[in-house]
Every structure is written in structure tokens, then in C-alpha cells.
């Protein structure tokens, strides 16, 4: 089985509820670092960290500049910053131009993560109201990573999942509960 090294997740409208379900379904021994871009208002308090820490067995925190993702951890892009993965797999935060009207942008995270982790990356697109993430997810797939998309029928807002599917970026289309089961299996070494 291919040893995956990280999971990247992109979500937008409806993302809080989707992330609560997904994180609530992860095992306490889930070991892969999870890196998340959730579209959020530029001046928002990062309340999502506090909420996800209540539902998650992983420790959830805001990503810091030059930080190396650790096992059993989840990292959120800070409001109004793009989160990039450097070739050495550390984080970089930038205030570059908006991409797909968003900063942080899912595509920016996914494209840089694909280059850093190659085929050892799992990319996931969840609910959302635009097409951010579809190009980045396709890049993860092109590099040989595993790409998962929330079933649009189960998404609070189906635009992002549908855009990813239309971009031919999805290896699997699953419900949130099915995504959690698959991730648990991969983390424990039992499923690919």
C-alpha cells in the first residue's frame, strides 16, 4: 500500500457542518496531518479551530509560517492568507492576490501540496459555492495522489464538488461518512 504523508481539504459554503461530520468520524489514532482551507471572511476570528477541536480527536490549530505538519494534527489556513506547502513540506503564508475570489484559496494549497508530496497526498473537496479547488485537485490526481470529492447530492452547496467532478479530478465520490471511513482505513494501513 502507498504510504500517504498528508491530507488536504478544501471547503467553502456549508464547510463548518461538513468538517464537523468528517472530523467527528476520524479515529483517535488517525495519524496523517490534515491541512484545511475553509473560505472565511478576511477579518473573521478563527472560531472554526475552537469548534473543530470539540469534534475532533486530532488537535486543530492555525498553520504557522515555516511550521512542519505533524502527525495527529490538523491545520487551518488563517483568514486572509494563502497557505502554501514548500518543497520541504513546511508551511508558507502569503497575502498574494485572491485566486477564485478567495484568500485563502484552495487551489493555491492543493497545487503547492501536490508539488511537495507528489503521489503521497490525499486531496478532498467538500461543499462550496464556487469552483475553487477543482484545478488543484486535478493536479493532485495528475501527480498520482488520491482525490476524493463529497457526493454533490450530500453537499450543503454542490458547486465545488460538481466543478471538481467536471474537471475529471475525482478518484472517488463519497459521502462525508464514507470519506472518514476511507481515511481511517488508509491511516491504519488497511485500505488504499
Q: What is the pLDDT of residues 30-79, one digit of tens each?
A: 999 999 999 987 777 768 898 999 989 899 999 999 999 999 999 999 99
The answer on pLDDT for 115 being more than 60 is yes
Count CB atoms within 10 A of the CB of residue 43.
Answer: 7
b/e per residue, 102-132, with b = 16+ CB within 10 A? bbbbbbbbbbbbbbbbeebbbbbbbbbebbb
List the catalytic residues: 12, 39, 132
- Crossing angle of helices 159-166/134-142, nearest 10°? 40
Instruction: Report pLDDT for 118.
Output: 97
Please tell me the predicted confidence (pLDDT) of residue 71: 92
pLDDT at residue number 181: 97
The predicted model scores a pTM of 0.96
* Contact present, 135 and 160 (Cβ < 8 Å): no
Walk me through the domains of the chain, giving residue ranges and CATH numbers.
6-187 (3.40.50.180)
The model's confidence at residue 85, banded by pLDDT at 50, 70 and 90, is very high
Amino acid at each position: 500500500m502507498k504510504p500517504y504523508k498528508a491530507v488536504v481539504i478544501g471547503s467553502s459554503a456549508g464547510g463548518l457542518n461538513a468538517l464537523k461530520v468528517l472530523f467527528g468520524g476520524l479515529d483517535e489514532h488517525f495519524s496523517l496531518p490534515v491541512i484545511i482551507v475553509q473560505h472565511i471572511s478576511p477579518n473573521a476570528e478563527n472560531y472554526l479551530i475552537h469548534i473543530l477541536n470539540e469534534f475532533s480527536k486530532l488537535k486543530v490549530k492555525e498553520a504557522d509560517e515555516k511550521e512542519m505538519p505533524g502527525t495527529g494534527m490538523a491545520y487551518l489556513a488563517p483568514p486572509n492568507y494563502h497557505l502554501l506547502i514548500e518543497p520541504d513540506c513546511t508551511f508558507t503564508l502569503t497575502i498574494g492576490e485572491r485566486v477564485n475570489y478567495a484568500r485563502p484559496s484552495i487551489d493555491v494549497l492543493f497545487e503547492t501540496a501536490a508539488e511537495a508530496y507528489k503521489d503521497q497526498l490525499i486531496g478532498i473537496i467538500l461543499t462550496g459555492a464556487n469552483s475553487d479547488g477543482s484545478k488543484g485537485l486535478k493536479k493532485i490526481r495528475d501527480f498520482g495522489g488520491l482525490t476524493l470529492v463529497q457526493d454533490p447530492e450530500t453537499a450543503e452547496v454542490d458547486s465545488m464538488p460538481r466543478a471538481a467532478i467536471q474537471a475529471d479530478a475525482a478518484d472517488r465520490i463519497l459521502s462525508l461518512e464514507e470519506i472518514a471511513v476511507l481515511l481511517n482505513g488508509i491511516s491504519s494501513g488497511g485500505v488504499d
